[in-house]
Amino acid sequence: MYQYELNNKGEMKDMENLLNTKRNEANDWKRCYYIDWLRIIGILSVFFFHNLRIFDNFFFPLKNRETSLFATVLAVYFNLWIMPLLFLLAGASSKFSLLTRTTGQYAAERFKRLVIPFVFGVMTMIPPQRYIEYLSQEKFMGTFSEFIVWYFDSNLFFTNFSFDPQWFFKIGMHLWFLAVLLLFSFAGIPIFTCLRSQKGKLFIKKLAYIAEKPGGIFIFCIPLIIIRITLQPIFNAYTSWSDSAFWFLMFIYGFIMVSDNRFTERANNNKYLALFIAVSGLVAVLSCYALGYAGHWMEYPDYSAGAMLFHALWGIIVWSMLVFFLGVGKAYLNKEHRFLGLLNDTIMPFYMLHYSVMLFLGFQIISWDVSITEKFWANSLLSLFVTYGLCYLIMTKLFWLRVLLGMKPIKSVRMVFQKSHR
């Protein structure tokens, strides 16, 4: 009897240890504060990138009469890494989400948090944005109510649906990210399931072993280079299959990078080397633009040696920037703050609302008789203030809008601030 009780207690202790291990694993995300900080930085970078687009030399729905070479250079720089960073962080978040959810719960949560805001945004935010676009380009003159009738009659609201993710961009403008992220989340489920199996964990350990070698963390850019070289000449439109495959691989990379601490540790050790590689690559890209080659390789990509080298360089720059961000995040941003939860909660409404606010204010500001720099900062700061003001109003007063904007439902202000301090 005594021996049996010892064994039983031992089994209970083993079970308790197993449960504690599971709890610790499920709570790992609470210690990865840098993922949240990087996501906030990424969304703010998108905000400033969109404001820069008003003044660069490329097409944009709203364009200042004068453009800036400096704004163009900054826009090219931001464009290289912003979306890859957001998809990488989304993949990392999927890893943490699946620690406490089944795949079915994960799919349901992603559907609810992404489909509802996408449909709501397309129906309520895109028509006013298009109205500003067509007014500024003098494609339409009239009231908004007249525009809505003309908009639907002209079939501009809807696109020619095809087996190409590009149509999400055509109907959703900046909201395309939500629809594509939903597809990535569903497509990633079988891959994540494999990576969570014993064989998958062994595969990740082997990758981590390679990453520990000198320069091993940069091996991950090879598949990215292959995608750019092989698919870009065929699907060169923005958000088409080349971009989507590139971003989907980033999404999977995000899951892998937080599955073993050795990846982020190596990113931390190589962060400044990665930044040097990225900046050197950016200088090379800008030199190609200055010489007149890069424009052709971007607009009409082919399989020429120059184009392939250009797109290989693109993959190297992107991955180097992501290594830099992961390293900086691991080294300096893995800290809790009392406002972190609150800022993290505003990411979705901020992302959805900022574009409309920026266009409406920018439409007025570009007519001012001031310099481009003054217009940029006026539009950026006013848009930032108004957008965060709307987010605060939604979080403290208009609770019914939370679900429509991709947030979790909350019934009181106290719950908002209690959540932000968890």
Q: Pseudo-torsion of CA 213, 214, 220, 223, nearest 10°?
A: -100
Per-residue pLDDT tens over the stretch 318-369: 999 999 999 999 999 888 888 888 888 889 999 999 999 999 999 999 999 9
- Nearest Cα residue to 314 out of 414, 377, 379, 221: 221
Per-residue pLDDT tens over the stretch 162-204: 677 777 888 888 999 999 999 999 999 999 999 999 999 999 9
User: Which of 29-33, 144-148, 418-422 has the lowest average pLDDT?
Assistant: 418-422
pTM value is: 0.88
| pLDDT band, very low/low/confident/very high, at 240 (cuts 50, 70, 90) | confident
Number of other CB atoms surrounding residue 418 within 10 Å: 12
Q: What whole-number percentage of the chain has pLDDT above 70? A: 88
Measured between alpha carbons, how far is 260 from 256 in angstroms, rounded to an integer? 7
pLDDT(251) > 90? yes
| pLDDT band, very low/low/confident/very high, at 381 (cuts 50, 70, 90) | very high
Q: Given the structure tokens 């090879």, which residue do they identify?
A: 222
Q: HSE (CB half, 13 Å, CA atoms) of 93?
A: 19
Number of other CB atoms surrounding residue 265 within 10 Å: 18
| pLDDT band, very low/low/confident/very high, at 419 (cuts 50, 70, 90) | low
Q: For residue 301, what pLDDT is reported?
A: 84
Mean pLDDT of 232-252: 91
Q: Higher confidence at residue 416 or residue 214?
A: 214
pLDDT(5) > 70? no
pLDDT(11) > 50? no
Q: For residue 287, what pLDDT is reported?
A: 85
In b/e form, how buried is each residue of 185-204, taking b as 16+ CB within 10 angstroms? beebbebbeebbeeebeeeb
Mean pLDDT score of the chain: 85
Q: For residue 2, what pLDDT is reported?
A: 32
